[in-house]
Amino acid sequence: MLPRVSGTMPPLYPHAHTRVHTQNPMVVISAVRTALRQAGVCRDEIRRFTRDAFAAAGGEELWALCRTWVDLDTEVPVGAQLAGPGPRFFEL
């Protein structure tokens, strides 16, 4: 899935909203998964998001991917790199 350019397209699930206060990629992914689940998104779509998120290189690519799926508010400075090596070490 291609990341959208901020402000050009609404997220796939604009009724799914979450706010994150961390740069930890696992927490960000978990928050988006929770928002999708609470919005009634089917399990297959949540799995697709999770697969794409774990494949993301981290940093801005992961932020862009999350914003493609949900309405994401963040208190982390725009352009901040996500902490840690990223979630690539997980196998789905």
Residue 70: its H or E element: strand 70-74
pLDDT in tens, the chain (92 residues): 444 445 568 899 999 999 998 888 999 999 999 999 999 999 999 999 999 999 987 788 998 999 999 999 887 655 555 554 444 444 43
The rounded distance, in Å, linking the Cα atoms of 84 and 1 is: 23
CA neighbor of 31 nearest in space, from 70, 87, 77: 70
pLDDT for position 9: 83
Q: Can you give the pTM of this predicted structure?
A: 0.74
pLDDT for position 79: 54
**Domain ranges, ordered by start, for the chain:** 24-73
